[in-house]
Each structure stands twice: as structure tokens, then as C-alpha cells.
Structure 1
Amino acid sequence: MSLEPATSGTVLWRSVRGPMEVALFAKQIPNGTRRFAEHVLRGNEMTITRVTEKYVELTGPGGEAVAKESNSRIRFSQPYMVVADTRTPGRYAITLTTQVGDELADWTILGKVRGDAVYWLRNLAGSGTVKDEDGVLQYAVKGVGGDILENVWNIKDERREATQNLEVKTSRKQVSLSFEDEDEEATADVQIRMRPVKKVKRVQKKQKEEESEKAVTESITTGPASTPPAEEAGKPLRSGAEDAPVTPTDPTLEKLRKFQESLRQPNRSAKKPPTHSNAEEGIDGLSSEDEDLEFLNHRWSK
């Protein structure tokens, strides 16, 4: 039967080799586990710098040294235990065996590694790792980040809060725009809401139709001025025959012209004394021209 207490806090450190999940004894070792959790949040500043046959050394961003804390139920009973140095700030170790001897006797046990991280930690101690005689790695395993999976210490993650604040949507005010001088100061700090594209297209189409109608109206109003009806009534009627070119040698057209003139001047219905000679007179003392006009007048009256 195991006497080891249950863990109550979990953190996750991510490195270039892979993630490492650590379950901590937060209730039994509150101060040391809290400091380690704060360092994991700044996981990009943590690095594995040294590897021996018994443990892997992990260096954090520093700060204050962890005070010595112990519990009779917490021992080096299994490998892959996470311990903190009580003399050097930000210095941690991960054991690879239970036979650590006196090397880590003054260190404080914080928790234990669980999950698949035990495999790549074991590979760091193999023959393929380049290190010197003291176990210092030529290519340190750098961290890329970290998270607190089970936050029993109520540690505030400032980075996560800043991201959440950016995602909060603020309400925007909708105002009517004005180009008057008195409203410039009032609308200076107000956000403008753009109209939808479909609405803009409808407005542009309506404006084009209004402009085309306006152009047609202007072309009608600015056309050649028509003669007023009063002036038209005062002018004598002109037929197409009068406007047509008249051939003076054609006697029929000449007679027709005279007939039209006689119709326009009804006061000249009285016969004028003939001015032609007796040689041109016809029957009953009328000339041939007068006979024709008399005949036409008779036909017109019928």
C-alpha cells in the first residue's frame, strides 16, 4: 500500500523535444509548487542544460530560491520525480532513478512526471546526446511555452487575460453624419458604420435614373422656341401651294393664285371697272380672265 499523497496541481511545459506534464503536491508543498508553476508559465525561458546518469537538470528564469519543504510521505520512491534546489533560484532536476544518494538530499520534492515525456527524457541520457564530461549539453533543450492545467494556486495568466480582452467586442455607436461646422467636434470621435454594398448599388442606380430624366427634361425645355398660339392665330394661313415655287408662264397656276387672293380679301368682291381694251373683252363685256374668275367663284360658293 502506497503512503504517497495524491497530487492536486498539474502543469505542462512544452519544449523542442516534446511536452512534459508534471503532477505536483500542491497541498503538501504549497510554496515550492507555486514557484515552479509560475516558471512553467514562462516556459520559453526554461532550458534543459545538463544531463547525468541519475537526473536531468532544468533551469528556469530565476527569481527567489525555494525554501526547504518536506513531507514524510513524499520520498524518492520512483524515477522521474521533479525536485527544486533550495540554494539556487530557478534550478530544478528530474530524477532518472531512485538511487540519487546525497546529491539531491537538500532539494525539495515538488511532484512527478507523467505521460510520454519519460521516453524522450530517458533518451537525453543515452549515448547519442552530445555532452561534456560534466554532463553539460552542447545543444540545450529549449522551451517554447507552458500552461497550468490544474490551477489550484489561483495564479493569473496575464497573457491569456490580455488575449481574452482583445476578443471582447465593444458596441459601436451609429450616428448621422453632418458636414456643418458646428457638428465637426461632436462627430470627431465617433465610429462610422459603412452602408452595405447592395444598398450603395441601389442608390447609385437611382441617381443615374434621376440624372437621365433630368437630361431629357432639359433637352426638351432648351429646344427651339415654339411660336405662341396668339401669334400663330394672327398670321395668315399659308398653304403648300403658296410656298411652292410658282412658274409665271403657267396660266392655270396664275389663275389659282389670284383666286386665293380673292378669297383672303372678301371686300374686293365688288367688280372693278375693266381696264383692258375691247379687243380682250368676251361675252357680255367681260374679259376671258374675268370669266374664269367668275366661274371659279360660282363653283366655290356652291
Structure 2
Amino acid sequence: MIGTATGIGQQSAAPAVASWLPPSDSGQRPRGAWVTGSFRAAHQATRLSVSALFDGNLHEVTACFSSARDWQTEHDADTGCQVFSVRIHLPSGAADLITHTVPGFRAQPTNEPMEPVVLVPLASPRTAPSGYTGLRYHSTHAFGLIDGNGRTHWARLEWRPVYARKPLPYAQARALPHNYLTQGLATVLPARFNLCAMLAKPGDDVHNPAAVWAETGLRRLLGTLAVHRTRESPCPQPDFDALRLPPGIAPPRDLLIRRRAARPH
């Protein structure tokens, strides 16, 4: 998810997130690694959106790699889904982008009155990530990129590593320290990710997070993030919020995010 914030909220500890919630529903995680970096938009990004995020200037970044699961003592090989929460600092505030490694979900009904549909990650082979920086991270929702003519281009956003890394066999990863993803992060930095927009095609179910879009869909490079180094957890921690959006980006229209917005805080 992508959002904008003008301040940083006080967080004494990362709140627990119900295991059935899609990982992008919250930018706070109970265990993770904080990093600093910089983002610069690609020149062609201005054709898709007039947002200050894509002004071509170099913007400082605060980000966190983490797990979508709740248990602080769980082994990294068992967490299943990794999350990349990025705050790009802009002259008028900041833009948040919350993404995860699971490219697709299936819908599952629930009896919760405020949550008529939940998303469950699609099954994947029994492997484990070899590191945070070699993974692709996807947005759950589609966002509207508004160009200079007022046209809206709906797209899902993703971070694609410049240097991808193969996953580890599960048994090999399980033999590593329980927090091996965080423990080994500093040794693989600096690292770079390209921010890409996967544009909706005619017939795509744009406002349904559970809908699968073809991998052959049209992609556009929006910019590059350079992750420079690890850092201590900020105090206070950024309150990543997917529902705050910079001008030039329209909010998602799917039911899941509307229900999230309606939940009491």
C-alpha cells in the first residue's frame, strides 16, 4: 500500500496483527530490521503521475523489513510472508508504501461484522527466503496514478530487486539462527530495488485484491530505491498508514480497504 503522512506517531511497541489479516493492513511488525536509503523516480514516471513522489529529486528513505506473522520468537524460515514498509520523505510530508512477498491471495468468508472477506496467502513451495534484499514485494491493492491530463492509470505496485536471490531449501534455512534474515542483512547492503507499476489491462478485476493479474501484464519503471545501511529502530517508530495518499495518486476502491478504514482505531 502507499500513503502519505506529515508526522510520525508514538509507538512504544509494534501491535499484534491478527494472522488472517493481509500483511499490508498494517505497517508495524513485532520483529524486523530498520534501514536507511534514498529514492529517485525514473523520468518516465511523470507520464503516469504528477505526484511529488516522482519529481526526479533524491528523497531520503526510512524503511523496515519484517515478517507478517505475530510471534517474535518464530523462526524466519517459518514466517511465510515478508513485509517491506517504506517511508519516502517528501518536501510536503512523506509517502508510505507497504508491500509483501505474497503475490496473490484467495478470498475467505468470515463472520466478523466489519470483515466480510479476508485474504489468505496462496500456497507456495516449501522453501525459505535467503535474504530480505533478494525478494520481490507486492502491493495488495491497486492504486490510481493520475497523470497531467487528469487520467487515472490503475496499477499494482511492486519492488523488484536489482539482484534477485534464490530461496533456500527449508531444511537448510531452518538450521540457521531463528532471526537469520535480520542478522545477515548488514552484510548484503547496499542493495537496490526498482519500483514498478503493473498496469491493469482491459478485463482485469482492478478493485479485487484476490484477483490474479497475468504476469505478462504491462509494467512501467517508476524509480529506484537504494538501501544504504541498517539503523536502530526509530523512536518513535513511523506510523505507516496506507490510507494517506500524496496528490497524484488515487486511493484503492476495493471492499477490503474500505472495511479497514471503517474499523475503529
Q: Please tell me the TM-score bracket, short chain as reference.
A: under 0.3
- Select the structure that is richer in helix: 1
Query: Which one has a bigger Cα radius of gyration?
Result: 1
TM-score, with normalisation over the residues of structure 2?
Answer: 0.23
Structure number with higher relative contact order (C-alpha < 8 Å, ≥ 6 residues apart): 2
- Select the structure that is richer in strand: 2
